[in-house]
Amino acid sequence: MAVIRPFRAVRPARDNAAAVSSVPYDVVNTEEARQLASANPLSFLHVTRSEIDLPPGTDPYSSQVYETARKRFAWLREQAPMTEESEPSLYFYRLRMGEHEQTGIAGCFLVDEYDRDVIKKHERTRRDKEDDRTRHIIELRAQTGVVFLTYKAADEIDRLCRAVTSDAPIYDFRADDGVQHTVWKVGARQTTELVDAFARIPALYIADGHHRAASAARARAQMRTRGDGSEADGFIAVAFPDKQVRILPYNRTVKDLAGRTPAQFLEALRNVVPVADGGPAPRRTGEVAMFLAGKWYGLDLSSAPPEDGSRASALDVARLQHHVLGPLLAVGDVRTDKRIDFVGGARGAAALEQAVTSGKAAVAFSMYPVTIEDLMTISDEGGIMPPKSTWFEPKLRDGLLVHTI
């Protein structure tokens, strides 16, 4: 059963919370991070993407980068200031984006449960990304990235959430992207009740943050060999009830047509799946919208056979890869192939059109989102979803709650 532990969070002063908080380190590249943080010395991006404070062209995995991150974290703790709670606590964290709202419980979850698949995965991780965040955790002796978990909603936890969130929050601000972030600290009595309630949750599911969780497990293993890091047994996460979680599509663009003209590609595609004139938004599972040569088309993948009998291979992203991207566009491993790129659904169809009309891509595919039921079922079966299947929005912010180890 699931275990949640209160922890002594390192967190910024209320007045500086908005300035300190930053987008997750892995949703921006170095230049985007440098631009976001350039006029804000308190931005937590100076910690999570510390190469932005070094000369352009610096290797983001050099020793100097991790040393800079450690120094920037120490500086922020003094200047923000970021103070450590005197007693372990849990927190409720609410995200509001437009009319969508979701509230999760922030705490520490056990590395042992991650290792035993009580905390279930649906995605493979890349070793180089694990190496980076593992070293970051060990150098700073802190977990700065928050894992996004989900669980099957429970009335008892919902009741406690309503009680805690009826009081005044410790943080409440609107970020530059328009998302409202509100955080409440849970009192001692309700913390005990929440710990007991989570003990009756049969499983947790990683929605977003597989590399952060994997890196926390690796950091714990390395620190154990040194005989230190007792607090490394847990990793920081926010767990949201499944009924509130929103998954957006993770769209694709491909840089070229593998030697074909648009007309030739369209002809080859019609021999594989039904193609018709269409719009930029697929209406149901099995439909994919395609932007090619200034025009939107609709692809019907519903009759395209999956690669095998697994639920993961029946997802639209898997069928598109198996029948179109691989055989017609020569896209191999989408995690490493430089000819394919991915666009989070929050950016909309305009971003796909712009990529093609600007010449950065030759074709774009707008996907219908997978469901949280798909994610949970595939995880329960021990399956792996295709890479870049899900895009979760809104995002948690880094820097509001840090777990030191």
Per-residue pLDDT tens over the stretch 56-93: 999 999 999 999 999 999 999 999 999 999 999 999 99
Is the model's pLDDT at 119 over the cut of 80?
Answer: yes
Q: What is the pLDDT of residue 348?
A: 85
- Report the chain's mean pLDDT, rounded to a whole number: 95
Percent of the chain as helix, strand, coil, to the nearest 5: 40, 25, 40
Alpha helices in 1-126 (DSSP H): 17-20, 30-37, 45-48, 63-79, 111-115
- The answer to whether the beta carbons of residues 259 and 268 sit under 8 Å apart is no
Cα separation, 176 vs 18, whole angstroms: 9
**What value does the CA radius of gyration of the chain take, rounded to a whole number of Å?**
22
Q: What DSSP line would sit under 175-215, residue for residue?
A: -TTS-EEEEEEPPHHHHHHHHHHHTT---EEEEE-HHHHHH
Spell out the residues 6+ positions from residue 95 whose beta carbon is closer than 8 angstroms to its own.
Answer: 101, 102, 103, 179, 180, 181, 394, 395, 396
At residue 266, φ and ψ (nearest 5 deg) are -60, -40
Instruction: Name 307's Cβ contacts closer than 8 Å, sequence gap at least 6.
Output: 313, 318, 322
Q: Does the pLDDT of residue 108 top 90, yes or no?
A: yes
Tens digit of each residue's pLDDT (9 = 90 or more) over 288-304: 999 999 999 999 999 99
CB atoms within 10 A of CB 297: 19
Averaged over 126-152, what is the pLDDT?
A: 96
| 8-50 per-position pLDDT tens digit | 999 999 999 999 999 999 999 999 999 999 999 999 999 999 9
Residues 55-66 have pLDDT tens digits of 999 999 999 999
Flag whether pLDDT at 274 surpasses 70.
yes
pLDDT for residue 229: 65
Give the dihedral of Cα atoms 341, 346, 348, 351; nearest 10 deg.
-40
Measure the CA–CA gap between 353 and 260, rounded to whole angstroms. 20
Residue 104 CB neighbours (<10 A):
25
In 3-state terms, what secondary structure has residue 357?
helix
Local structure of 270: helix, strand or coil: helix
Whether the per-residue pLDDT at 309 is higher than 90: the answer is: no
Q: Give the tens place of pLDDT for each residue, 331-379.
A: 998 888 999 999 988 888 999 999 999 999 999 999 999 999 999 999 9
- Cis preceding-peptide flag for 12 (omega within 30 of 0): no
Whether pLDDT at 138 is above 90: yes
**DSSP 8-state symbol, 80:** T
Phi, psi of 171 (to 5 degrees): -135, 145
Question: What's the rounded Cα separation, in Å, for the pair 113 and 51?
Answer: 33
Cα–Cα distance measured from residue 74 to residue 69, given in angstroms and rounded to the nearest whole number: 9
The answer to whether 10 and 83 are in contact (CB under 8 A) is yes
Helix, strand, or coil (residue 264): helix
Predicted local distance difference test score (pLDDT) of residue 218: 96
Position 228 pLDDT exceeds 80: no
* Percent with pLDDT over 70 in the chain: 100
Burial of 99 (0-12, 13-18, 19+ CB in 10 A): exposed
Q: What are the start-end ranges of the H helices in 110-254? A: 111-115, 127-140, 155-164, 188-198, 210-226
**β partners of residue 84:** 10
